[in-house]
Amino acid sequence: MSKIKIELPDGTETECIHAYGLTYNAVVQKFFKDTDLKTHIEEIRDLEIRDDDIYLATFPKCGTHWVWEILVMLKRGDAEYDTREKETLFLDFKSSKEVDKSPSPRVLNCHYPSKLLPKGVLQKGTKIVHVMRNPKDAFVSYYHHHKTFKTGPLAQSFDKYLPLMTGDYGIYMFYPWFTYVKEWERFTKAHPKQILNLFYEDLKEDPVREIKKINNFLDTGRSDELVKDIAKACDFQNLKKADAEVKIKEDPKKPAGKPSPMYRKGQVGDWKNHFTVAQNEMFDEWLAENLIDTDLKFRYTL
């Protein structure tokens, strides 16, 4: 595991952890060709935020693509697919110069913890939509992500992968999952009018209901009919089809006419196909221990 220190707005420092089994030099070479990770994070924190920006915050594998499309449609006022991929405005791996070139309105999306928010998001009171997913499904999805993209030693059998996910460092390059969600919970209590917290499972259960919540939160004023059209357009299978047929791929390595491997199942409860009884008991103990000081509740089935 590697760490770098990032200075926060209050002058304190936080340690960012990289858990992909790569050195930081390897990460820099792969994602940040003209800079390093520390400099990239600092540049994103200094990103100029526009008055009509929306900020989408998610832990990896918690519905980023899905909700990004919903937000774009609500903001634009139609149920047509944007030809851009959400990665166009993905702050984790896009330079501030690239993001600056994107026309408004922008739906910025990022996996960074709340401590690493762009400063302008707080200064302007930018609306934040934060999406959470039950950790069992999120971790299973991330397991398949690492297997698909062959990301270091984490791309191994699930029984070896699970202890890595529940370790002190977790599976993300900055924080373990439980630290991430608890910090966003604290942020919500400090800035209740600025953030809308959604759950992946609620969106699956009743997308129209949840999109109406987003519509009200953003004051986009869209009709019930349009909300229903957006819910249909953003159904998992429809999004997967649109990714293959509509999206203009930025990465030349992505095959034309095929959906991104990011679209796997999009289900609630797939964790049951991976966890043994013993693993599930261990995981529940881990959750009880680490979420003892939070009010967060998660659903694992529908």
Q: pLDDT tens, 119-134?
A: 999 999 999 999 999 9
Per annotation, catalytic residue among 18, 65, 111, 274: 111
CA pair distance 56, 71, nearest whole angstrom:
9
The CA distance from 100 to 106, in Å, is 10
pTM of the model: 0.88
Please say whether the dihedral angle defined by the alpha carbons of residues 15, 17, 23 and 25, taken in this order, is positive or negative. Answer: negative
Q: Which pLDDT band holds residue 246 (cuts at 50, 70, 90)?
A: confident
Pairing of strands 13-18, 54-58: unpaired
Residues 53-65: tens digit of each pLDDT: 999 999 988 999 9
280 sits in which H/E element = helix 277-290
103: CB partners within 8 A, 6+ apart: none
**Fold observed for domain 2-135+170-259:** Rossmann fold (3.40.50)
Residue boundaries of the structural domains of the chain: 2-135+170-259
111 given a catalytic annotation: yes
> Computed over its alpha carbons, how large is the radius of gyration of the chain?
19
| pLDDT of residue 75 exceeding 50 | yes
**How much is the pLDDT for 221?**
97
- Residue 119 vs residues 8, 32, 42, 212: alpha-carbon distances, Å: 10, 21, 10, 29
